A and B are shown apart, each in its own frame.
Chain A
């Protein structure tokens, strides 16, 4: 479904991604783990067209995303929940969700999806008319995920959903991600520093170091890998 081939991305003269190749199959959850500054966020930003690779291709359902503008990439079915959630602080919860469905014209479908995300996260329906900036960290993460779901994506990119959240909330959010993947068949590309949680929910994983993919396998295998255990699981 998504195929990164030998992607190289630079910030000025600094190379952030080196020959990165990742493939995501329809219906799976894959995770990309790695330390701070390894290039995980850049990988996602390259997919959603905010950062442009210097070379390599990013194919999504046989279209090269490098040729598309960010809004066309959303229209193609890719939705990105960025690091730090980036809720519009002065818009209400409802308005944030409306913007998630910005490109959609099927108002009946949008209404149904709104009900669906309120079912997933009932707290949002209570907070509906509150400004986004007044929500707690966990609620903001729920809103960020819901906002992206409102675009009804086929591929959901998630950047560090666990960042700065209490373990119990992280647990809850990850359970819902699995539920979204199972119920709707939404493919999920999850970037995480919380390697243990990520490897438990994902089917396959990639390990990134200094801009390169150094390891990839089924998550069950990665969880047993000595290198991964030592570097990322703290065992």
Chain B
């Protein structure tokens, strides 16, 4: 039983990280119908930014918790700026071209950012400090749950709640939902669609960066390539839940996290990625619109 609970917690942690990333995929897809393949790179840049900041701040002698908070916030802002710029440079100019152009532009952006970080930083793995403080009350639990796992899950939950509130009740949230359903109509009502798209990239990039910082603090190492697999997994999670749907992305992420964690724990950890992609294939065969996705609606 404790083994089961341990795997459950581990799946929850993975799912949380996937969710922080998958949100960006699904929100961007919801509005401009683009799979932003460079999204994983934003997550990686977030982790690098936090690493650089953490090194500087620890020289300055701050405690781990303050470093974590400051590094996360700065990484989120910095990555959001990357996301914003990326949209302006790589996606906006091809928005009215064929969809394939934007997709290729996204792949190009992904390769560019990976190699840029490789050249500007290093191609080696770098150690990432364990910034998350130790909570002793977790030791009382009968199964293994680290402080990092606890913080990752709580942070993700808070982000989800804030985001749900933003989308549902605020003016910008309403304009985002409107633009995702009918951009021209949103424009006819006075919504500045360019701004809505920019805000979407800002939010998606910030949550991805937060995911990058948290997971790096948990795994303890980063390199320029970490965004690639994480990005693909989060994309699988978004498709699993129904791309374009925010609750879907969250659900898909947890389903994926648990599938990987239980698959690895009960069958074999060598096949972890196989489980992830097998579930993608299954969902594409049996429910192509995803768990919570809306069936393709015809535009009249």
Contacts and interface: CB of A to CB of B under 8 A. Distances in A.
Nearest to A74: B190
Interface stretch (A13-21, A89-97, A113-121, A194-202): A89-97
B92 to A, nearest CB: 14
Nearest to B190: A74
A160 to B, nearest CB: 12
Interface in A196-210: none
Given A95-B174, A99-B175, A89 B181 contact: yes
B184 to A, nearest CB: 6
Interface string A4-29: 00000000000000000000000000
B20 to A, nearest CB: 24
B140 to A, nearest CB: 45
Interface stretch (A59-67, A78-86, A172-180, A225-233): A78-86
B293 to A, nearest CB: 12
A95 B188 CA distance: 15
- Interface size grouping (class) on chain B: 10 to 19
A90 B177 contact: yes
A71 B192 contact: yes
B141 to A, nearest CB: 41
Contacts of A69: 192
B187 A50 contact: yes
B186 A99 contact: yes
Contacts of A90: 177, 181, 294
B186 A80 contact: no
A169 interface: no
Contact of B185 (A49, A82, A98): A82
Nearest to B294: A90
A165 to B, nearest CB: 14
Interface residues of A, number: 26
Interface in B242-297: 294, 297
Given A86-B184, A88-B182, A151 B174 contact: no
Interface string B183-213: 0111111111000000000000000000000
A69 B193 CA distance: 11
Nearest to B168: A95
Interface string A40-69: 000000001110000000000000000001
A185 interface: no
B171 interface: yes
Contact of B189 (A49, A50, A100): A100
In the complex, which of the residues B178, B190, B191 has the most CB atoms of chain A within 10 Å of its own CB atom?
Answer: B190
Given A82-B184, A99-B175, A148-B189, 16 more contacts: A70-B188, A71-B187, A74-B188, A75-B190, A82-B188, A88-B177, A88-B182, A88-B185, A90-B177, A91-B178, A91-B181, A95-B177, A98-B174, A100-B189, A102-B174, A151-B189
Which 9 pairs across A and B sit closest by C-beta, in order of nearness? Answer: A74-B190, A103-B190, A86-B185, A70-B187, A71-B190, A88-B181, A80-B188, A71-B192, A102-B190
